[in-house]
Amino acid sequence: MKRLIRNAVFIVLSIVLIILLFPIKKRMLFQELTEDCSNHGIWIYDRIFVNTKPIDIAFLGSSHTLNGINDKLIEEKLKINVANLGYCRFGENLIYVILKEIIKTKNLKTVIIEVREDEDRYSHPIFPYIAETRDVFLANPLFNKDILSDYYSHLYFRLEVIKNSIFNNLENTKYNMDDFGSGTSPDTASIEFLKGIKEKRSIKEPELSKFERNFYMKFPRKYLEKIFEICKVKNIRILFIYLPSYESNIEIPKEYDTYIKYGKVLIPPKEIFNKTSNWYDENHLNQAGANELSNWIANELLKQGKPK
């Protein structure tokens, strides 16, 4: 019985090693995310590794960033290279991964990280798919409820890419050489819909105790610290931009004291977010809202002095 168990363990470990050591081009990992975030992953890869245009300022965050930050408008106002590298859904560990990729090829000067009313306490769903193996398997195990599923997803996804490469003759998709990543809708949410959202959000949720907050925020705070360490080594300025949802009753992010350890928090005027004509849905700005917000951001950056 012991020999059987030993042999089974040996076989499993051998399969795992084959999966991890099999040479996979990183672009293939991003390319295979075709059904996630409108296939935005391949653009992120190409903007970082294929498009030779510099990135001086990078915006990182969720779909709030994708929809709310007009990188082309900001670039035109600042006369400096700007890229919106947001990706759908939440998780500071994905921001950490994308930042690591950016600095491999770009001389980044400023990173502007989206923050919302509160931090998401979990691993980003796409983290195990594009993160390097050491970042997945050496992730902070404490307060990380997704660690085992991340191990599994990392191995399974790599196996799928290997299988597709061998049996389906997987080839590179066409390079996406667009300079800018922002994308939102010109449509405006109905007044009736937004009115219902306002009523729902007028009810304040109970606050976490200090103990609960410190417990639940261990995971995202750890990745914010790792992001800061990267930026410190590379002399990259960190800023945060507060992007609340429609009619949020939270004036400043709940983790504000954490953010200001690492960089300034930009708090846009409430008027931008209170204007019903600026919203596509309850969480995302439309084109008008993105343009208004981006003009404000550009002016703020000009006041502070754009990176040199």
The residue ranges of every structural domain in the chain are: 22-125+173-304
How many CB atoms sit inside 10 A of residue 74's CB?
Answer: 25
Spatial contact of 70 and 185, defined as CB atoms under 8 Å apart: no
Is the pLDDT confidence value at 73 over 90? Answer: yes
Single-letter amino acid, residue 42: I
What's the alpha-carbon Rg for the chain, to the nearest Å? 21
Q: How confident is the model at residue 10 (pLDDT cuts 50, 70, 90)?
A: very low
* Least confidently predicted of 48-52, 208-212, 222-226, 297-301: 208-212
- CATH superfamily, domain 22-125+173-304, is SGNH hydrolase (3.40.50.1110)
Please give the torsion angle defined by the CA atoms of residues 122, 98, 39 and 19, in that order, rounded to the nearest 10 degrees: -80
- Helices 287-304 & 71-78 angle (0-180, nearest 10): 30
Provide φ and ψ at 285, rounded to 5°: -70, 150
* Unique residue bearing structure tokens 């300034």: 264
pTM: 0.94
* Least confidently predicted of 47-61, 83-97, 152-166, 211-225: 152-166
What are 242's strand-pairing partners?
A: 115
Kindly provide the residue ranges of all beta strands, DSSP E only, lying in 132-246, ordered along the sequence. Answer: 237-242
Is the pLDDT confidence value at 9 over 50? Answer: no
> In this predicted model, what pLDDT tens digit does every residue of 11-55 receive, in sequence order?
545 556 667 667 899 999 999 999 999 999 999 999 999 999 999
* Least confidently predicted of 14-18, 90-94, 133-137, 227-231: 14-18
As a whole number, the mean pLDDT across the chain is 92
